[in-house]
């Protein structure tokens, strides 16, 4: 059988990019037409003008915190905050949803009627799942959508699923022993619990030889631990809002982007794309007409990896999850946001990247803006540190020291605000 889920995975990168950019105007038009929130946010946008990454970068980033705020503000009238194009009788949506889920917040997410609505089949296929396999799914099937997300992808491949859900370790272990599933879907930690419990009780889980895990970190040490027990585990990166974003392959070199999303890496607190390889926030535009999220800020940090995947998949690769982009800190009773640091930097063409470092204890908090000179600058412009300090005070209402650094001095880890205090 093919190593690839479909021919889209091996398209020439230029062909893929052309197809994505050709689809982008329709995505924007769909969002403006059927999602009231985007009708307001993109009121002055001509959809046909948004046909390139450069044009896309001019649109506002909608972060999860803003989505939650809009949902809360319209809770009894429009539970999706005006971002969904589907719903049910009594809402403004033109088409009906199949299900609605609730994630922590609470944030509500719609599920449409499309086969493999969250596009998880591609990640399962890369993990070795094939038609006829029995997959034991231990993600939740109620409130949150994880179980439904994975099951939809497994069914699209032709797998049979056992909806184990969360908890009930003894009962799930009994089901594994008696049903002998070929594969596991769930968190890596629960798979480890099942394997350890099986060894402790003498129950066999030898039928499980492959796994797709998500929802938490999957370190190489745990991957190797499972491999020593004849289970090949692969990870994917997905959210309840967007579905599949990226997935691991047999190459074990980063995560390959899904074919149904447009991904940008932006400087935290802004909507400005960073150079390839630099760590920043993942911003995703989905081609899903039912929930047409345009420039949705995931709040997660990652970076683009150079070159194609050694497996032959030609889509862009990312390093995977590298932390959170929301680095807001409270200093002397005032909140300081990454967007404020970005605002300071934008006023100074002499400055490249910058990081605000917060140190001290209790009432003695102190801030230092560590600012790199732009690559084109060799000499330090006279009075630059003082001018930067003045603007930091104007923007944040707090005093800060300024330390000027040569270009390339700051770590490439996506941090804009670094809180070094021992308390939070």
**48-57, 222-231, 341-350, 357-366: the lowest-pLDDT one:** 357-366
In a domain, 37, yes or no: no
CA 224 to chain centre: 25
Place of tokens 């009773």: 333
Tokens representing 265 are 């890496």
CA-based nearest residue to 288, from 260, 263, 316, 315: 260
Model confidence over 62-74: pLDDT tens digits?
Answer: 998 899 999 999 9
In a domain, 392, yes or no: yes
Map residue 133 onto helix, strand or coil. coil
In a domain, 73, yes or no: no
Average pLDDT over the chain reads 93
pLDDT of residue 217: 87
In a domain, 354, yes or no: yes
In a domain, 321, yes or no: no
In a domain, 145, yes or no: no
CA–CA distances in Å: residue 91 to residues 29, 64, 133, 293, 369: 20, 22, 40, 19, 48
- CA–CA separation, 102 vs 305, rounded Å? 33
In a domain, 405, yes or no: yes
**Looking at residue 373, which CATH number applies to its domain?**
3.30.300.30
What is the residue-wise DSSP string for 316-371? Answer: -EE-----BS---EEETTEEE-HHHHHHHHHT-TTEEEEEEEEE-SGGG-EEEEEE
In a domain, 258, yes or no: no
Give me the percent of the chain exceeding a pLDDT of 70: 98
Which structural domain range is residue 412 located in?
A: 329-419
CA–CA distances in Å: residue 74 to residues 78, 79, 81, 97: 5, 6, 6, 19
Model confidence over 216-271: pLDDT tens digits?
Answer: 889 999 999 999 999 999 999 999 999 999 999 999 999 999 999 999 999 988 89
Residue 236 DSSP class: E
Domains contained in the chain, number:
1
């Amino acid at each position: 059988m093919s190593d690839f889920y479909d021919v889209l995975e091996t398209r020439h990168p230029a062909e893929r990019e052309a197809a994505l950019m050709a689809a982008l105007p329709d995505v924007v038009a769909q969002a403006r037409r059927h999602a009231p929130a985007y009708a307001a946010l993109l009121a002055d946008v001509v959809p046909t003008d948004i046909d390139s990454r450069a044009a896309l970068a001019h649109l506002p980033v909608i972060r999860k915190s803003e989505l939650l705020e809009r949902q809360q503000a319209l809770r009894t009238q429009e539970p999706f905050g005006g971002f969904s194009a589907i719903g049910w009788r009594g809402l403004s949506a033109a088409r009906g949803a199949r299900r609605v889920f609730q994630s922590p917040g609470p944030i509500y997410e719609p599920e449409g009627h499309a086969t493999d609505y969250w596009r998880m089949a591609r990640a399962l296929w890369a993990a070795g799942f094939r038609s006829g396999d029995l997959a034991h799914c231990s993600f939740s099937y109620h409130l949150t959508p994880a179980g439904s997300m994975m099951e939809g992808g497994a069914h699209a491949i032709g797998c049979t699923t056992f909806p184990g859900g969360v908890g009930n370790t003894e009962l799930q272990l009994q089901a594994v022993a008696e049903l002998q599933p070929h594969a596991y879907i769930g968190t890596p930690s629960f798979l480890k619990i099942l394997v350890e419990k099986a060894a402790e009780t003498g129950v066999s889980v030898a039928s499980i030889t492959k796994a797709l895990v998500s929802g938490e970190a999957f370190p190489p040490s745990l991957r190797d631990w499972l491999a020593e027990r004849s289970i090949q585990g692969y990870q994917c990166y997905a959210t309840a809002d967007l579905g599949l974003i990226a997935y691991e392959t047999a190459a074990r070199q980063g995560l390959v982007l899904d074919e149904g999303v447009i991904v940008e890496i932006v400087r935290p607190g802004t909507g400005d794309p960073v150079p390839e390889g630099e760590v920043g926030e993942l911003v995703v535009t989905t081609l899903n007409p039912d929930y047409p999220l345009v420039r949705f800020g995931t709040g997660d940090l990652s970076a683009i990896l150079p070159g194609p995947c050694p497996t032959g998949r030609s889509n862009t690769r990312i390093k995977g999850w590298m932390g959170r982009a929301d680095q807001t800190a409270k200093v002397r009773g005032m909140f300081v946001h990454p967007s404020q640091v970005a605002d300071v930097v934008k006023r100074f063409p002499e400055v490249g990247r910058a990081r605000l470092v917060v140190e001290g204890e209790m009432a003695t908090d102190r801030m230092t803006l560590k600012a790199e000179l732009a690559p084109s600058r060799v000499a330090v412009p006279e009075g630059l540190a003082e001018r930067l300090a003045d603007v930091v005070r104007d923007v944040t209402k707090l005093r800060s020291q300024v330390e000027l650094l040569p270009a390339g001095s700051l770590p490439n880890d996506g941090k804009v605000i670094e809180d070094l205090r021992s308390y939070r």
